[in-house]
Every structure is written in C-alpha cells, then in structure tokens.
C-alpha cells in the first residue's frame, strides 16, 4: 500500500500512523520533515542543498523534497507498505508525487482524511506544552503534567511553543484550508479512493476506524 494521510494540524494523523505501523509489525511511516533532518544530519548532497535554503529561512523547494522521497523509496523494498504523513500539501506536490511513485513502479492506493471541527483543533494545539529537554509533549486539556510546567518524563521545563499559541494555530489552520484542503477534491476526482475518519472519538476508536478505512482486520 501507498497511503496518504490528509487532515488539518492537530487532528492526530501522525499519532494514528505510528500506532498502525506498530500494530501491524511492518510498513513505514514517512514524514518529509524526518527525511529532511536525516539528510541534513548525514550530510548527503540533497541534505546540504536543503540546508542552504533552511539557513536563509527559505522554504525547501518541492523538487528537492520529491527527490528526497524518490531516493528513500529506491532503497525501500517494493512490498513494504508506506504511509505518507504531511506530504503532499498542495496539488502541484501531489502531481509531483504521482511522477515519483511512477518512477519506482508504485501508485497511491488509498487516501485517508482525518476530520475534526476547528474549535477542537485549536483546543488541542494551543493546549500543548513541550519539554525543552526530551521533547515530550503534554496537553493541559487532555494529558496535563502532574506538576505544572514540569515534564513528567525527565523533569525538564515545559514551554508553550510559539507555533502552538492560539493566534498562530488559527493561522496554521487557515493555511491548511487555502493550500491543502483542495487536495480533498483532487483525490476524490482521481482514481485513488478517499476515506473519511472522524477524529472526534477516543484514540482507540479512531485507530479502529482508520484500520477499517484501509480494510485491515
């Protein structure tokens, strides 16, 4: 399978992808952010090229991201199922991804859209607190730390990151609506079937609905 996850920030795509991969004991959860960090850390040609843009505060071009995905897939066994999380984000990226997948004799087999109301997403994202030491994330609404501003895992300081401030969260959701939401219609009008999963359920029920969408028992 080649599965694309769609849905706004805070809807839980990454969490559900990791749970699925862990439960089926195979497959790969691919985040383009992780691919970028790995390429930069390893000092590959693509990583060095990406760093030039990042050091200038510029977005890494779509073509470079697509080349990272292509390189990664050429070293991934053809029978390995992959879940793409956070990419594509625009219709041009989706079209570029189709070309990359064709180059490695693959195609999108399923698109899953996770849905939740905007007020719920703002609550989830603005309630997050991140540990400055170990990176653990808590939520003052759903998973509050036992001691305020202290990480329950390592004792580090918990902070409210700038990109989790309510105004920033609203802006991120607006960007999603303008740039990424059009992918819903794009995939609905193409051959890859699109399934919808409500993220307004307990986390285990969301996972069951996700598995049902992918027809995994």
Catalytic site residues? 13, 89, 128, 161, 172
Token look-up 């000092």 returns 43
Smallest Cα–Cα separation from 177: which of 54, 7, 2? 7
Smallest Cα–Cα separation from 165: which of 128, 120, 134, 195? 128
Report the C-alpha gap between 64 and 47 in whole angstroms: 9
Q: Which helix (H) or strand (E) element contains residue 145?
A: none
Report the C-alpha gap between 149 and 159 in whole angstroms: 7
Q: Give the pairing type, strands 110-115 and 2-6.
A: parallel
113 within 8 A of 12, measured Cβ to Cβ: no
166 phi and psi angles, rounded to 5 deg: -50, -45
Report the C-alpha gap between 1 and 214 in whole angstroms: 9
Token look-up 């839980």 returns 12
């Amino acid at each position: 399978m080649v599965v694309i996850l769609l849905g706004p920030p805070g809807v839980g795509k990454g969490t559900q992808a990791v749970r699925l991969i862990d439960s089926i004991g195979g497959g790969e959860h691919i985040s383009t952010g992780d691919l970028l960090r790995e390429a930069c850390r390893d000092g590959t040609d693509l990583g060095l090229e990406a760093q030039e843009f990042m050091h200038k505060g510029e977005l890494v071009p779509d073509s470079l991201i697509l080349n990272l995905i292509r390189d990664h897939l050429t070293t991934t066994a053809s029978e390995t199922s992959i879940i793409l999380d956070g990419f594509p984000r625009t219709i041009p990226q989706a079209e570029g991804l189709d070309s990359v997948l064709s180059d490695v004799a693959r195609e999108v087999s399923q698109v899953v859209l996770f849905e939740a109301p905007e007020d719920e997403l703002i609550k989830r994202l603005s309630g997050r607190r991140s540990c400055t030491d170990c990176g653990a994330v808590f939520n003052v609404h759903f998973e509050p730390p036992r001691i305020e501003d202290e990480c329950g895992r390592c004792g580090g300081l918990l902070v409210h990151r700038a990109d989790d401030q309510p105004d920033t969260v609203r802006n991120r959701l607006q960007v999603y609506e303008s740039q990424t939401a059009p992918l819903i219609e794009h995939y609905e009008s193409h051959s890859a079937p699109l399934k919808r999963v409500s993220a307004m359920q307990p986390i285990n029920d969301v996972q069951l609905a996700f598995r049902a969408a992918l027809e995994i028992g």
